[in-house]
Chain A
């Protein structure tokens, strides 16, 4: 109702209204397993105050939450438990991978650590950092709100092969480049390059 008593209508689609409601009332389910969890606690509490963005109702039951914040290292023994929590959340649901460990395994390129939670579930927003500062998580949540408003399609989880997972963090294999393992420059290579330059 406006001041003069006449009613105001905002003509819109119900789906748009639902999106607006969803993005401004995200209920986070925290899954903090290490130092990222401390930064997440800081983000939620008074100093950074996540409630300014409508995401302050932290639920420790996955059935009451719709945004899973995975903050910390996930071991391969923990992975099925995390997947169960994801399965127990009701649709619509979103996932934030907070920090290097949950995004890619981080520094723990070992026998026991999952190389990023996207091996077991679809992820909406990745937050870089080790750990990310609270502003990083806030930015991720604002970004997620934009994504919800846009209604963009979600990519399904991609399971890398065993070989990909093995090489996920090693520097020998670059992403998008064809770098051979144990590549050493020999005089033959230099001669080849010189020949190519002459041809040009």
Chain B
């Protein structure tokens, strides 16, 4: 069969329809299912613990064929536009077979913990560290939850709306942390382990 722009587009639309049907059939009970401007499904998880269940189920689902985590991020919901909850955490999943995307969102509060998915998708490790660094959302069971972008002595989480954007913190020296003649003691060093089951 010849492939051209029209045929691939038709194939993609068909795949998107089957995915949407599958999501409404199996996953939309007590969950809100939306469609965004690009006609892609957005599924709101019931609670933070529901997120990991969903991601695991999507990965094992033969109809969805989700095999790639494009992005894991969050945004500040201080104005309450998306409901009651301080932050919204976003999982963007992609299928390299069907070329379709599924977005999972969840409202969480400041002191709520989210289960890590770094044992499901290994790439989530650094993305979760970035979310922790920028918003202060902690992930339970993460192998190495440290700051990734800012200095480790930095206080505050700069992408929260209440953080003053120009508040800088100068540090005298950060080379001793990892490279210097007097590195951190073993007790203070976090050893990075690969998640179990992915070795």
Q: Does B6 contact A (CB under 8 A)?
A: no
Interface 1/0s, chain B 145-182, versus A by CB < 8 A? 00001110000001000011111111111110000000
Contact A84 B169 (CB under 8 A): no
Tell me the minimal C-beta distance from A87 to chain B in angstroms.
11
Q: Which residue of A lies closest to B170 (CB)?
A: A76
CB contact between A110 and one of B149, B151, B166, B173 (< 8 Å): that residue: B166
- Chain A residues 141-183 with CB under 8 Å of chain B are 162, 165-166, 170
Tell me how many residues of B have a C-beta within 8 Å of chain A: 17
**8 Å CB contact of B168 from A80, A84, A111:** A111
Q: Is there contact, CB below 8 Å, between A77 and B150? A: yes
CB B124 to nearest CB in A, in angstroms, measures 23
Q: Quick check: is A89 within 8 A (CB to CB) of the other chain?
A: no
User: How far apart sit A162 and B151, CA to CA, in the bound complex (Å)?
Assistant: 18
Say yes or no: B170 contacts A79, CB within 8 Å.
Answer: yes
Q: Mark B109-148, 1 if CB is under 8 A from A, else 0.
A: 0000000000000000000000000000000000000000
Cα–Cα, bound, A84→B171 (Å):
13
Contact check, A80 vs B172: say whether CB atoms are below 8 A apart. yes
Asked if residues A112 and B150 are in contact (CB atoms below 8 Å), the reply is yes
Contacting residues, chain B, for A81 (C-beta < 8 A): 174-175
Interface size class of A (residues with CB under 8 A): 10 to 19
A113 to B167: give the CA distance in the assembly, Å: 10
Across the interface, which residues of A come within 8 angstroms of B174, CB to CB? 77, 80-81
Q: Using CB atoms, name the residue of chain A closest to B176.
A: A80
A126 to chain B, nearest CB (A): 21
| B130: min CB distance to chain A, Å | 13
Q: Is A56 in the interface zone, CB < 8 Å from B?
A: no
Chain A residues near B168: list those with CB within 8 A.
Answer: 76, 111-115, 162, 165-166
Q: CB-CB < 8 A to A77: which residues of B?
A: 150-151, 171, 174
Q: Give chain B nearest CB distance to A26 CB in angstroms.
A: 27
Q: In the assembled complex, which residues on chain B have CB atoms less than 8 Å from the CB atom of A170?
A: 166
Considering the chains assembled together, what is the distance between the CA atoms of A109 and B163 in angstroms?
Answer: 14
Asked if residues B166 and A109 are in contact (CB atoms below 8 Å), the reply is yes
Q: Of B163, B164, B171, B175, which one neighbours A76 at CB under 8 angstroms? A: B171
The complex places the Cα of A113 from the Cα of B165 at a distance, in Å, of 11
Across the interface, do B166 and A112 meet the contact criterion of CB distance under 8 Å?
no
User: Which B residues touch A114, using CB under 8 A?
Assistant: 168
- The answer, among B149, B150, B164, B173, for a CB contact under 8 Å with A80, is B173
Q: List 26 A-B contacts (CB under 8 A).
A: A76-B151, A76-B168, A76-B169, A76-B170, A76-B171, A77-B151, A77-B171, A77-B174, A79-B170, A79-B171, A80-B171, A80-B172, A80-B175, A81-B175, A110-B166, A111-B158, A111-B166, A111-B167, A111-B169, A112-B149, A112-B150, A112-B168, A165-B168, A166-B167, A166-B168, A170-B166
Chain B contacts to A: CB under 8 angstroms: 149-151, 158, 163-175
Nearest 4 pairs of A and B residues by beta carbon: A111-B158, A77-B151, A166-B166, A80-B173
17 additional contacts, CB 8 Å, given A79-B171, A80-B175, A112-B168?
Answer: A76-B151, A76-B168, A76-B169, A77-B151, A77-B171, A77-B174, A80-B172, A81-B175, A110-B166, A111-B163, A111-B167, A111-B168, A111-B169, A112-B158, A114-B168, A115-B168, A166-B166
